[in-house]
A and B are shown apart, each in its own frame.
Chain A
Amino acid sequence: MLKKLTAPLAVGALILAGCGGTDPGGDGPSVSIEQPAEGDELTAPFTVVVESSEELGTTESGNHHVHLYFDGDDGTYEVIESGNGEEYEVSADSPVLEGLEPGEHTLNVSLRNADHSAAGAEDEVTVTIGDGTGGGGGDEDEDDGGGYGY
């Protein structure tokens, strides 16, 4: 019984492994934060631009996506799944900003496979989260009302 199952299972595993998200160039996938820059001061809503070697898309497409989070806390994150090098707006009610005190923080991005497992590429920049009166990290639609509205 077990012998009968071994061959089809091995073939299936090989097919599935072959269809997995790997880097065709062999250098491994990459992701980088283009915006904001190191040391920028951000006030929600703000814009983030990431660049990746992989095509980004929804889970349904099977493409990679990017998790964005602060201070290494990858349990609370934004999902960037559309475009590559395009602007992505982090809104004031984003989960990543909940409980985040004004001050210096690390903005992390992690390239993820469609199943959310880490694809092995990360980047980070240090930014200052404003108290609602600071600059906007390149965003045109700044909120000058103070805080994040929660």
Chain B
Amino acid sequence: MRTRTTAADTATEPVRRNSARARWLHAGVYATTLVLLGTGWWLTLGREGRPSLLAEATGRSDAEIHTGAGWALAAVAAGGALIGRRGLRSLLADSVRFAKGDMAWLRRWPAAAFTGRFAPHSGRFDPGQRIANVAMLVLLALLIASGVGLVLASGGTVFAWCNLIHRWSTYLLTPLILGHILIASGVLPGYRGVWRSMHLGGRLRRSDAERVWPEWTRRRR
């Protein structure tokens, strides 16, 4: 029996973007990071001593939850770097690269986020993603290192420096993560459907993948 494949079938045909290991690592990082951002901003905004909903639910203070979630993130990051070192190397290699057309892509990006008409690029990640990947990796590394420093030092001059790094890394990382969530959620028309690349099997529709990562998708045929 012959089966006919139409253009519509091809467009909805799923493309696997991320492995199960990458998705689990991503889930571990964002679960702990969201707890850290929530409790961290709660403390930073002068709510210390007033238990947040999370603190009330767990019976632990926000500072204790923040410290515990920080260790969890450090463990996830260390485990991820160890178990997924090949994936990490390829993430870094695919992120730290610049091409001629990147500036054109970036210029068209604000409008393309709404229209979906992105400028072409040939990478596994688009130029905006590459910048965000590098910035998030550096800032997360700084946050983990300074967080470990805060706990080990407990107080004193080293603590004060670690606290300064921790705070400023948070100020820079927070808008990046909010932007990442906005883009990844698919609320913006240009990024519709991309949330599937990190969830529910990591498969997204070919038409969605081609819109955001055209060359990468063609290589996946």
Contact = CB atoms under 8 A, between A and B. Distances in A.
Contacts of A88: none
B50 A95 contact: yes
Contacts of B49: 67, 76-79, 95-96
Most buried by A among B61, B154, B155, B160: B155
Given A60-B164, A75-B60, A114-B163, A19 B50 contact: no
A11 interface: no
Contacts of A59: 163
A117 B151 CA distance: 9
Interface residues of B, number: 25
A86 interface: no
A4 to B, nearest CB: 15
B142 to A, nearest CB: 15
A117 B63 CA distance: 9
Most buried by A among B48, B64, B153: B153
B155 A62 contact: yes
Contacts of A21: 154-156, 159
Nearest to B62: A75
A13 B59 CA distance: 31
Given A74-B61, A75-B51, A75-B59, A60 B156 contact: no
Q: How large is the interface on A (under 10, 10 to 19, 20 to 34, 35 or more residues)?
A: 20 to 34
Nearest to B63: A116
B96 interface: no
Most buried by B among A79, A96, A115, A116: A115
Contacts of A60: 160, 163-164
Contact of B153 (A16, A77, A95): A16
B63 to A, nearest CB: 4
A10 interface: no
A32 interface: no
Given A19-B157, A62-B157, 13 more contacts: A16-B158, A62-B153, A62-B160, A64-B155, A67-B49, A75-B51, A75-B60, A75-B61, A77-B49, A115-B150, A115-B155, A115-B159, A116-B64
Interface of A: 13, 15-17, 19-21, 59-64, 67, 74-79, 95-96, 113-117
Interface of B: 48-51, 55, 59-61, 63-64, 67, 149-160, 163-164
